[in-house]
Amino acid sequence: MSRILIVMSAAAVWERTDGSQYPTGYWAEELAAPHEAFVRAGHTVDFASPGGVPQPLDKHSADPAIAGEDCARHVAHAQKALSDFGPLLKLEEVSVSDYDAVVLPGGHGPVVDLFQDANLGRLLIEADRAGTIVGAVCHGPAALLSAVDEQGTWIFSGRRMAAFTDEEERLFGTADNAPWLLASRLREMGARHEQGDPYQAFTLQDGNLITGQNPASSTPMADAINTALAAG
């Protein structure tokens, strides 16, 4: 079986252009659903973050009115998985050669820290060069922006990918005063961003890169990763 690394943000606050601070954290479904699918398939899952700093739960992802009726199960699974794992690995000490896949869940945290984390950038560049599977869902694709090589080139430029859309950000109520919008930034950087209907599952695979648009895409993304791992 395979070994999978889930890289979490360490951010608890998203600073807005008006100076306000928006509480954030990991989105329960985006952490729990992939973890559940990976463990069910027999894989081993590790968790890492910048400095090994634990990230809080985004409380919006525990609200049934926002995250759906199944959110309590996702919250319970995520909290147990993190508790059972113990202290998170420090991202700067991780060797990508130890893993068969690297997965980047969302919550708004990745647009705060992971998008410019040099240690993550190094890891993702090494992973992509080795053909290691890289998965990202919702705001997780922001973390892909960290992968800028020695020549200043973003290695995922030209790749097809899904991510939380500008329309979804507006519908969620967080587009105004956002320092930047994820889908727009990905396109500006050269990504071939594609999207489905708002808040409906939509995933894309481009070689070793597997991405999902929103929380509903978490399980389909994980299933695609499991299929790719099984195919070798």
pLDDT per position as a tens digit, 37-64:
999 999 999 999 999 999 999 999 999 9
Given a cut of 90, whether residue 147 has pLDDT beyond it is yes
The percent of residues above 70 in pLDDT, for the chain, comes to 100
Beta-carbon count within 10 A of 23 CB:
12
Q: At which residue do the structure tokens 């420090």 appear?
A: 90
Q: What is the pLDDT of residue 124?
A: 98
| Sheet strands (E) in 30-111 | 44-49, 89-90, 101-104
Given a cut of 90, whether residue 12 has pLDDT beyond it is yes
Per-residue pLDDT, averaged over 128-133, amounts to: 98
pTM of the model: 0.97
Pairing verdict, β 3-7 and 21-23: unpaired
Given a cut of 90, whether residue 232 has pLDDT beyond it is no
Q: What is the pLDDT of residue 191?
A: 98
Per-residue pLDDT, averaged over 2-27, amounts to: 98
The percent of residues above 90 in pLDDT, for the chain, comes to 99
CB contact set of 102 (below 8 Å; sequence gap of 6+): 4, 5, 7, 96, 123, 124, 127, 132, 133, 134, 135
Alpha helices in 41-149 (DSSP H): 64-67, 71-85, 118-130
Query: What are the structure tokens assigned to 135, written together?
Result: 């998965």
Element (H, E) at 230: helix 218-231
Give the C-alpha separation, 208 to 6, whole Å: 16
Q: What is the pLDDT of residues 153-191, one digit of tens each?
A: 999 999 999 999 999 999 999 999 999 999 999 999 999
Given a cut of 90, whether residue 110 has pLDDT beyond it is yes
Sign of CA dihedral 146, 150, 152, 155: negative
Element (H, E) at 203: strand 203-206
Contact 187, 181 (CB under 8 A): no
